[in-house]
Amino acid sequence: MPKYLEPNEKTLTLAGQKLSAELYDPAVGAMLGWLAAGDVARHSRYGELSQVVLNTAQGDRFLREDIAIETFVRALVPFLRRLDRGDFDANGAASVTTFFIGACRNRIGEVVWSHHTRIMELRADTEELLDRARNTAIGPDTVDGFELARDLLLEAPRNLRSVLLLVIYEGTTLAEAAKRVGVKPTTIRSQLMRYKNRIAWLHFRRVLEIPEATGLGQWARNTVEERKIVAEARRTKQSAA
């Protein structure tokens, strides 16, 4: 039997590349079908499944593709490592494709949960941010609010700014607005996450003043504090090495 991984067990050999290409369509196609049908729970073997992600994925083709491809990638190298160890019986009842889809069933639960974390983090205080951006009425008591709304929108990348304007003034969802602008919803979710982190840092550096008593202000402070803790832990680890 050919070897599918180089001796470092990370790089695919030519045989590994060929096999992965043969496995891609049936495995990813199967997972896309489970996600579109809302049927992942019946196929997933391990991990806690998030109904939030499963419901979102049913109506979001790009999220389905992200989950399926990420599961394929996570499952591939460990699977090829098992083949190289001789764990697959070529004379058995199951084909190598069926064997690999089984490996994907072992992984898809953890991938779904990782997207749950991303989606819930994205939702955290996003409504607060949008409410602040909606405050465009100019008057003696609202000038500060107007300036904050303007500054928040100016910090967003162009595509995200267009999406936010549709959400704010037309009441569409992020996914609907992304489609109208011609951007993948998953791209907008990634941009929104980076945008919110940028807002947190600008607030921390006092470039962007967000009222301390608001949920958005509290979120900005908490985000910065968490990042400072992580950065300090990394510095400590590097110093000890």
Residue 164 · residue 153 · CB < 8 Å: yes
Indicate the Cα dihedral angle 69, 74, 78, 84, nearest 10°. 30
How many whole angstroms separate alpha carbon 52 and alpha carbon 72? Answer: 21
Q: Please state the pTM of the whole predicted model.
A: 0.59
Per-residue pLDDT, 137: 41
**CB-facing half-sphere around the CA of 79: CA atoms within 13 A:** 24
Lowest mean pLDDT segment, chosen from 99-113, 141-155, 157-171, 174-188: 141-155
Each residue's pLDDT tens digit, 51-93: 888 988 888 887 898 899 999 999 999 999 999 998 888 777 7
Per-residue pLDDT, 151: 72
178 has pLDDT over 80: yes
Averaged pLDDT score across all residues of the chain: 79
How many whole angstroms separate alpha carbon 72 and alpha carbon 87? Answer: 19
The domain spans of the chain are: 14-122, 126-240
Lowest mean pLDDT segment, chosen from 72-81, 93-102, 128-137, 177-186: 128-137
